[in-house]
Chain A
Amino acid sequence: MSDQHDITLTINGHAYGVSVEARRTLADVIRDDCGQTGTHLGCEHGVCGSCTILVDDEPVRSCLMFAVQADGKQIRTVEGLADGDVLHPLQRAFTENHALQCGYCTPGFLMLAAGVLEREPDISDDDLLDVLSSNLCRCTGYANIVKAVRQAAAEMKAG
């Protein structure tokens, strides 16, 4: 194909040089070309939020972005959330509050919450619910996800 573009995606601090067609979504390239399969696809039309990642620290639906648009940008995915073996407060809170069952939507919720809490550590309960309503979960009924994010928010604020 003549439509190949050489780009560099920096995922969790690691630079991946890949050659991709312009039409390939960021999610597909992160998963298939860079081997980081923690980012999941649930709808491929920007509704469910399972594929949420951070691009330059902003939560982004990676199914709605082309990989070429992320060339040179800093990407963070669920694989980079923990600090080595030390879990991120959100990861710990999710397991402690039984905020996941099948775990498919979990990476999207973790990255959405991580992005929002970093930007707005003092976010109000109402605003937090508003943000979390942008992702779908089919297993938990959400209450434990809300509990977990609130617990992590308090912990992150306390440092």
Chain B
Amino acid sequence: MAAKLTGKLGESVLRLEDPPLITGRGRFAADISFPHQLHMRIVRSNWAHAKITRIETTAAKALPGVHAVWTADDITDVPPIEFREGHIENLAPYRQRALGTGTVRYVGEPIAAVFADDAYVAEDAAELIEVEAEELPVITDASAPPAEFSPGQSTEADIVRQGYGDVDAAFAEAAHIVEAEINVGRHSGVPLETRGAIARFDASRDVLELHGAAKVPHRNRETLATMFDRPIAAVQLYESHVGGGFGVRGELYPEDILVCVATLRFGRAVKWIEDRHEHLMATNHSRQQLHRVRAALDKDGMLLAVDDTFFHDQGGYVRTHAIRVPMMTCGILLGPYKVANYRAAGHVRLTNKTPAATYRSPGRFETTFVRERLMDIIAREIGMDAMELRRRNLVRKEDMPYAIPLQVLGDDVEYDTGDYERLLDMTMDHFDWTGIQADIERRREAGETVGSGISLFVEKSGLGPSDMSRISVDRTGAVEVITGGASIGQGFETCMAQICADALGVDYRNIRVVHGQTERIDHGVGAHASRATVLTGSAVNEAALLVRAKALDVAAEQLQAPVDTLDIVDGQVFRTDDPDGPSISLGEISQILAPTRAQPEGRDPLLAADGWFYTDHQTYPYGLHLAVVKIDRETGGIKVERFLVGYDIGRAVNPMLVEGQIAGGFAQGLGGAMFEEFVYDERGQPQSVTFADYLLPTVGETPAVEMLLREDFKSSRNPLGIKGAGEAGVTGVGAAIASAVDDAIGLPGAVTQLPITPQRLKAILNAAG
């Protein structure tokens, strides 16, 4: 047996996903069509807050090619869009309906839907619809006093609280108290593919199909089944290619509900493709929070207490995520530091903006900015070196596993493994941080405005409690891995294939990975919260080991050899003590296990198995971001010259893909740190509704990230030792760049708001004189 297994766990092999994508044969939502389909176009509110008094649809309905026009009155039987994790009584009044009824609460809220034979005609008809409304007072600032959302309901939907210890006592005895007000701007995922939903009611099977699904098809299937009072098996979701997810794509939005209702009523497929203008005011926003945070320290700079009050700008409604982001904010604010006492209160406030929910690294991008800004401000206030302050307060290796009486996604926080200070030292050595500082000094003397900054963070991944996968080998030896995971471009298929290849002993290219098809498997966690590789990957590992055991069992009989002398490489089972002797392929074993052949007592047919993986707690990767920036004092422009990342992932399934995740995350973090912002005027009119106003970073602004990827501390929470990778690139970017800008202009703690636009930086420079 000279064969070498290709695609083992840990190899940077090429992606299985690429061939159709580089040849134009992908199938994204807009590429899906059905015969006789209708096209849906949404009429949206032009008002941030108004009472609708009249909607005139006669002219639209009369346009040739128009099949129907709906307003809220046409779908009174459709319930509001339910939360992903189930009903939450106190938040129920804030849910969004598919079409706004009576009062509209943000610009972009759907108020009518047109169905026509042609997308252009649907758009023509939408323009013929006249809407009249009476404007109501507008709230655009979540820290402003709450008002009335609806009769009897405050715009403060909830106050989320987490904490432990005696914060007041700690402040009473503190040597230093430091306060700060810190603002995170409103931005979001903005994938390059806009949303799309194509619903088709198949009366022959009595199945409601939703195509263009993403992220969490199984969860959405359950929600839709509940909303439409159908058995779960009578609702099927189909994920095809997804042009970026980032948290926003794949949640259930009004448009997803409308196409489903329409196909159930009309019996024709109904297709909706969002345009970019719509996307920027209809798809979930994220991030915007104002924090008023204070810290109590002893004389040595040890953190005695942190007390944070923040205002979470929820936008017009509470969507599918409910209050996950503010809860996460409370739960992970402390990051890598030990804090004896802690109190966080998050005011979840409805405003007249596009509703907000998760965006890659939800709660962590925000809190890392807040926490690391706070550390820089503390250092300034108490006269201590900021790096020394951080080192003193870090959670130590000997503290692991480190439990904090807080919750993240309903899971008790317990950091599993790691040595934060060691990674800090290794990263600084690796990138010659001392040399970088010396270089910055030289350039400053030459008159340049340059500086460096740092942020430390703890990520979370692999939320349980369980996931499953089903693996089968056919008579040719081809392997199919069925998962309830989802692919949003991250390389899911390749990762799952590598895990299976490694455990089973087959070439990863001989493995077909199924995801996002509710028809193929009953359960799945999808792709969110850096869960897929940890949770689904572990389930694939379990199933592959079961298939392997069954194959070896049969092979042992066929080769007349004990199981423990056998190995599988490249789909061929052979004796390790006689590698050139007789062997048998997995395909042949599959044939022996065919249901058409009698099996010995106690052995089921088929070379196949279901694998389940269970975990009690999430796993916590960690890392740091370092930035070097140059400032143009005249314009307030910032150039990020270098961006360095140190990250301990436990174990990388495919290092090339992990690096890809970090590089891509960084670019998104850079956008949120410097360019991207959903701006509203005082009447609640969105000012960022084209790519000319909402600025995504281009190659010109995005330096190549330099990375130190470590696998020093494997997760203790799964057999493979893996931790998540999806969000590590974005988490600390805002914080590190802010710190570097401070350093460059010689004003520690000066930046307290993201994004750091040229105007805001100029204002800081002008104020400093």
Contact = CB atoms under 8 A, between A and B. Distances in A.
A138 B660 contact: no
B710 interface: no
Interface stretch (B535-543, B663-671, B761-769): B663-671
A96 B22 CA distance: 11
A139 B191 CA distance: 8
Interface string A128-143: 0110111111111111
Nearest to B662: A141
A136 B696 contact: yes
Interface in A131-157: 132-146
B656 A37 contact: no
B82 interface: no
Interface string A55-88: 0000000000000000000000111011000010
Nearest to B690: A45
A88 to B, nearest CB: 9
Contacts of A48: 192, 276, 691, 696
Nearest to B667: A141
B18 A143 contact: no
Contacts of A40: 28, 30, 192-193, 243
B303 to A, nearest CB: 34
Interface in A1-45: 21, 23-24, 31, 36-45
B23 A136 contact: no
Given A24-B120, A98-B15, A78 B23 contact: yes
A82 B667 contact: no
Task: Indicate the member of B21, B189, B277, B491 with the most A CB atoms within 10 Å.
Answer: B21
A52 interface: no
A33 to B, nearest CB: 12
A78 B699 contact: no
Contact of A141 (B120, B194, B664): B664
Interface in B630-672: 656-657, 659-660, 663-668
Interface string B686-725: 0000111000101110111100000000000000000000
Contacts of B241: 102-104
Interface residues of A, number: 54
A95 B193 contact: no
B275 interface: yes
B275 A100 contact: no
B120 A136 contact: no
A79 B24 contact: yes
A103 B660 contact: no
Interface string B25-37: 1111011000000
A23 B124 CA distance: 12
Given A45-B691, A137-B192, A141-B663, A102 B242 contact: yes
Interface in B252-286: 275-277
B489 interface: yes
Given A45-B692, A48-B691, A39 B191 contact: no
B193 A98 contact: no
B22 A37 contact: no
B190 interface: yes
Given A98-B660, A138-B192, A139-B664, A43 B691 contact: yes
A108 B277 CA distance: 20
Nearest to A105: B192
Interface size class of B (residues with CB under 8 A): 35 or more
B359 to A, nearest CB: 12
A81 to B, nearest CB: 7
A142 B699 contact: yes
A141 B25 contact: no
Task: Indicate the member of A107, A130, A143 with the most B CB atoms within 10 Å.
Answer: A143
B117 to A, nearest CB: 12
Contacts of A139: 192, 244, 489, 660, 664
A116 to B, nearest CB: 13
B351 interface: no
B249 to A, nearest CB: 10
B149 interface: no
Contacts of A82: 23
B14 interface: yes
A146 to B, nearest CB: 6
A104 B243 contact: yes
Contacts of B488: 102
A140 B665 CA distance: 8
A103 B26 contact: yes
B14 to A, nearest CB: 6
A138 B244 contact: yes
Contact of A103 (B489, B700, B702): B489
Interface in B1-41: 14-15, 17-19, 21-28, 30-31
A37 B31 contact: yes
A101 B691 contact: no
B23 A143 contact: no
Contacts of A117: none
Given A100-B21, A132-B699, 15 more contacts: A39-B24, A40-B192, A48-B192, A101-B489, A103-B17, A103-B21, A104-B28, A129-B699, A129-B700, A133-B698, A138-B190, A138-B246, A138-B664, A138-B668, A139-B660
18 contacts: A21-B120, A38-B26, A40-B243, A43-B276, A48-B192, A77-B24, A95-B19, A96-B14, A98-B15, A98-B656, A135-B698, A138-B189, A138-B668, A140-B660, A140-B664, A140-B667, A141-B702, A143-B705
**Can you list the 5 inter-chain pairs with the closest CB atoms, starting with the nearest?**
A38-B24, A102-B489, A103-B21, A104-B243, A141-B663
Interface of A: 21, 23-24, 31, 36-45, 47-48, 50, 77-79, 81-82, 87, 91, 94-96, 98, 100-107, 110, 129-130, 132-146
Interface of B: 14-15, 17-19, 21-28, 30-31, 120, 189-194, 241-246, 275-277, 488-491, 656-657, 659-660, 663-668, 690-692, 696, 698-700, 702-705, 729
